[in-house]
Amino acid sequence: MNTADLGLPVDVPSTALFTDQYELTMLQAALKAGTAERRSVFEVFTRRLPEGRRYGVVAGTGRVLDAVENFRFDAGVLGFLRERNILDEQTLKWLADYRFSGDVWGYPEGEVYFPGSPIMRVEGTFAECVLLETVILSILNHDSAIAAAASRMASAAGERPLIEMGARRTHELAAVAASRAAYLGGFTSTSDLAAGFRYGIPTVGTSAHAFTLLHDRERDAFRAQVDSMGRGTTLLVDTYDVAEAVRTAVEVAGPELGAVRIDSGDLLLVAHRVRQQLDELGAAGTKIIVTSDLDEYAIASLAAAPVDAYGVGTQLVTGSGHPTCSMVYKLVARAESGDAAAPLVPVAKKSSGGKTSVGGRKWAARRLDEYGVAEAEVVGTGPVPDGLADRQLLVRLIEGGDVVAREPLDVVRDRHTAARANLPLSATQLSRGEPVIPTEYVNGRSGSRTGA
């Protein structure tokens, strides 16, 4: 059973208040002005990647679909808005019947993206689309940041598995979302049981230093854990003296000991010493798991070490220095009137200081070179060039208010692995650099092309 299909709720009855007040006051003013029903197109994109990142990862799409479905103004929510005198009665009445009835297109979850990529496109009336801005950005900015960090760590780890263990370093609900994003990005398991329950992610965990300290002797703690969990368990060996602990662990569990975990010290040096000791004690099959404030750079530095798995917490759930992707949600086109047949007019804010936007309803495609490797992200308005028609990236996620593209998390995870593999090899470099492929804009009217 895929527990994600159960529609398990968060700890609030509705996602409608996961928004900023000005979304609602704009709605009220637009209703009064008679412009609320104008057909509109909003797009989610980022103007730049976090410094040093070569690509971004689209994550959180499945959670966005849940949030849109649960965006309902029930009696309690309406009562709060009325008591605070935030909106007038006409607007409250309109909200009571709110159901998103438009269309949403987006990059499939797990895809990679680049500056200017129209990651998500929301279409409908201005009134129904503008309300979704904050909750969509909240989810995509958080989850995509975690997934990007996870992807970099997975690249650095190679074939070695990664365990997500950052729940204690972030908000309890953010921890569940972070586990999901980390699994999408290449992690293999989580310590967070709520994430396992909600999304079916494999869960792991054995003991902490407190368990060893509870007992009179380290041997007693190891014996208790082995008696409870079997010889294949993982024993934590750095509470006191590592060499003595390894010796005791093998004496207690025998050569069938599953793994030892090292959580402190010079991990490179200690891992080599522990591997040699385990082999000498006849425990050649016992694995070594390392933890202790790892990030992608620390993982890469351990590539030559005899390490079998990594556990990552703080750096992962904080985006490894980049906890947001700076995605924005901008109106790029709107109808000339409230008439359903009125043509769309491209619109864009005129701005300086790096906050420019490109108006118009956009498509996106990824151009490949002769070897099938991505060489450019092409974004345009108007007709799609023939050579890119079969390389378009946006897919329909919601049609007429109904979700049409829910996917199992493992499908999304596999998609990311494939998308990353189709990028140039330099995408996995941890050194600072520009996006691994450029973004090119195609003007639908003239066919002209510009780089970014």
Domain boundaries of the chain, sorted by first residue: 3-131+326-451, 147-321
What is the strand order of the sheet 402-403 is part of? 344-346, 327-335, 39-46, 120-125, 103-106, 395-399, 402-403
Distance CA 245, CA 209 (A): 12
CB 393 within 8 Å of CB 107: yes
* 212-to-73, 218, 221, 234 alpha-carbon distances in Å: 51, 6, 5, 13
Q: CA–CA separation, 427 vs 105, rounded Å? A: 26
Helix 133-157 vs helix 409-421: angle between axes, to the nearest 10 degrees? Answer: 60
CA distance 282 to 259: 13
φ, ψ at 352 (rounded to 5°): -125, 180
Q: In whole angstroms, how far apart are CA 285 and each of 257, 264, 282, 360?
A: 8, 22, 8, 59
Residues in the chain predicted with pLDDT less than 70, given as ranges, are 1-13, 352-354, 444-452
Q: What gap in Å lies between CA 158 and CA 309, rounded to an integer?
A: 10
What pLDDT does residue 353 have?
64
Determine the Cα–Cα distance for residues 264 and 218; give it in Å rounded to an integer.
Answer: 17
pLDDT at 431: 86
Query: Is residue 145 a contact partner of residue 55, using CB atoms and an 8 Å limit?
Result: no
What's residue 433's pLDDT?
Answer: 86
Nearest to 257 by CA among 206, 214, 210: 206
Residue position matching structure tokens 């030892």 = 260
The Cα 113–Cα 45 span in angstroms is 9
Asked if 123 and 129 touch (Cβ cutoff 8 Å), the reply is yes
pTM of the model as a whole: 0.93
Q: Between 409-421 and 172-185, two packed helices, what is the crossing angle to 10 degrees?
A: 50
Residue 285: count of CB within 10 angstroms of its CB: 12
Cα maximum dimension of the chain: 81
Token pair recorded at residue 78: 């309406």
Q: Provide the CATH number for the domain formed by 3-131+326-451 in this structure.
A: 3.20.140.10
The secondary structure element, H or E, covering residue 45 is strand 39-46
* Strand, coil or helix: 197: helix
- Per-residue b or e along 125-139, where b marks 16 or more CB atoms closer than 10 Å to that residue's CB: bbbbbbbbbbbbbbb
Same fold, 3-131+326-451 and 147-321: no
3-class SS at 251? helix
**What are 160's two structure tokens?**
């070695």
Architecture of domain 147-321: Alpha-Beta Barrel (3.20)
Q: What angle (nearest 5°) sits at the alpha carbon of residue 49, between those of residues 382 and 292?
A: 145
What is the reported pLDDT for 450? 55
Closest of 202, 184, 190, 191 to residue 63, by C-alpha:
184
Q: Which two tokens stand for residue 221?
A: 């703690």
d(CA 283, CA 279): 5
| Nearest alpha carbon to residue 139 among 168, 104, 165 | 104
Instruction: Give the per-residue pLDDT at 359.
Output: 93
Is residue 133 within 8 A of residue 23, CB to CB? The reply is yes
3-state secondary structure of 346: strand
Rg of the Cα atoms in the chain: 25
Measured distance CA(121)–CA(139) in Å, rounded: 15
- pLDDT digit string, tens, across residues 127-142: 999 999 999 999 999 9
Q: Decide: helix, strand or coil at residue 150.
A: helix
User: Residue 356 has what pLDDT?
Assistant: 73
Residue 1, pLDDT score: 38
CA gap 406, 412 in Å, rounded: 10
Contact between 238 and 264 (Cβ < 8 Å) = yes
